[in-house]
Structure 1
């Protein structure tokens, strides 16, 4: 399957232009699903799997690849579909999310399509909070469902969402009359809730939106109708991958807007690799951190919030 994946250099040229490449695949039927190619290391025929006693039911085993041992998850089972009956006839999509490598077992890999993020739409309102969809799109007049992989991993592997006592010890009292807040943009409900729980532990308010376009519209609304709210905004925390407008494009639009250009933008993404640091400089973001490390996020947030308090307090005193 080496021909399925284009070179990393070719793929990275799409970033910053509100474009992405989606690898389409099937699970137990004709319905096609998608995953961003940036998350994928390789696609292989399913190797021999070693069962792991007392592992989560969707973990079909571990695979030994290039000196590493990775868990292989039955992606269909993880989202409530029937398990694949013949794993050796299926494929494994090896991915890197949130600093961890894992394989997703799928029936068949289709092809890669080059798309604009504006073609990636939020899931229907009726999907509900228990849905495993983070977005949908259409290819060849067929619906393609983008799976919320972060929700799958949170349920199967779990994630520590508590800030350490050492970091919490540095949290000062929040003055009510000078209480900065944060705008959070992330298409994954799980990711938004993880960030919110981190901010709750820091006694910091947050406005949550599900994509870059909504974030930009909210900022523009504050700039026009509530400048004090915008003034007190400590930072924007944005995912990179989002329907309609990605985090890179959101950052670029913020930097080119006279009213918003000075905002602190932190890109917070499950995409890994040194490429992201180069993109931070290219689009003008202030910081990039990988998901999801509560202490790392909390430390970055506290540093900027304290800076904002000093600036707001200084301007008020003046």
Structure 2
């Protein structure tokens, strides 16, 4: 997983996924989140731990939590633990081990192949952020950030980080935000509103966001009166944040629009991808205080 040769060029709207199973169900995680895949090792149980947490394990001097993905999804535990796998992932500035039943293969796909789940079966609390149809089967793209937030609510965006910035004036600056998670859209709305930014336009993916921006560029004499900044996640169905940023920066009218990538995938190893596509700033979730300060700087 650490072989950089498998990582894709930034801005192509493609990704690689690791397909794994829980029972008969197929799921996926973005390769960019995965550090390595291990055979199971002994896990030390922690008293009064969250029901999703099996315990802790040591990996090359680091003590890491082990999350039972089957428990997190409400599915039966593995009947053959000796065949299971541990997926070591890093995002949101932390490493976590996810216990799955098997790992099958890696697929290279387009974000356009990932369909947004229907609200009929998704629900507000769903851990599924996309459905991938491959080889006659459906693979569910999981929201691992949501799983960790259920385990530790303090790992999410905190209003207190904005309150630490002190009293703030209302701003008339208009911001476009591309974020696929309904939960995070609400968190961003609440925290940015608290920070004084009241004109926020949200989109569920980069495809809808770029369509809106290009429409403004074509139909408004000075689109800068309509939008002063874009904030985008990276992982989104239909069009990811890197491709959205590239489209903005290559557009003859939109190119001067500041873009902040706000994602759980901002790591030292992956930050170059945002730089390549021209992002003006990259901030790791859940650092909302840093995000607000960067917005202040870029919209002046």
> Normalised by the size of structure 2, how large is the TM-score?
0.91
CA distance 1:189–1:88, shift in 2 (3 Å): farther
Contact 1:87–1:105 (Cα < 8 Å) also in 2: no
> C-alpha separation between the residues in 2 aligned to 1:225 and 1:81?
50
Contact 2:245–2:277 (Cα < 8 Å) also in 1: yes
Aligned twin of 2:241: 247
> C-alpha separation between the residues in 2 aligned to 1:270 and 1:224?
33
Which of 156, 159, 163 is residue 162 of structure 1 equivalent to? 159
Residue 117 (str. 1) matches residue 105 (str. 2): no
Deviation at 1:97, TM superposition (A): 1.4
**1:188-239 deviations in whole A, cap 9, x for unaligned?**
2233233222202212131111111011012123333456665242311111
Which of 261, 271, 274 is residue 277 of structure 1 equivalent to? 271
Contact 1:276–1:288 (Cα < 8 Å) also in 2: no
Aligned twin of 2:140: 145
Aligned twin of 1:311: none
CA distance 1:101–1:257, shift in 2 (3 Å): same
CA RMSD of aligned residues (A): 2.0
Deviation at 1:285, TM superposition (A): 1.0
Contact 1:137–1:145 (Cα < 8 Å) also in 2: yes
Deviation at 1:283, TM superposition (A): 0.9
Deviation at 1:164, TM superposition (A): 3.3
Aligned twin of 2:190: 197
Aligned twin of 2:170: 174
Aligned twin of 2:60: 66
Which of 261, 281, 284 is residue 287 of structure 1 equivalent to? 281
Deviation at 1:75, TM superposition (A): 1.1
Aligned twin of 1:136: 131
Contact 2:162–2:194 (Cα < 8 Å) also in 1: no
* Gaps in structure 2 of 5+ consecutive residues: none
Aligned twin of 1:259: 253
Aligned twin of 1:313: none
**1:280-311 deviations in whole A, cap 9, x for unaligned?**
33111101111111221222122224x1xxxx
Aligned twin of 1:12: 7
> C-alpha separation between the residues in 1 aligned to 2:42 and 2:56?
8
Contact 1:46–1:88 (Cα < 8 Å) also in 2: yes
* Gaps in structure 1 of 5+ consecutive residues: 308-318
Residue 42 (str. 1) matches residue 36 (str. 2): yes
Aligned twin of 1:316: none
Contact 1:163–1:201 (Cα < 8 Å) also in 2: no
**1:146-185 deviations in whole A, cap 9, x for unaligned?**
011111111112225123377422x53225xxx1121111
Q: Secondary structure at the match of 1:180?
A: strand
> C-alpha separation between the residues in 2 aligned to 1:224 and 1:69?
53
278-287 or 220-229, which deviates more: 220-229
Deviation at 1:124, TM superposition (A): 2.2
> C-alpha separation between the residues in 2 aligned to 1:132 and 1:221?
33
Deviation at 1:133, TM superposition (A): 0.9
Contact 1:47–1:88 (Cα < 8 Å) also in 2: no
Residue 213 (str. 1) matches residue 207 (str. 2): yes
Residue 188 (str. 1) matches residue 181 (str. 2): yes
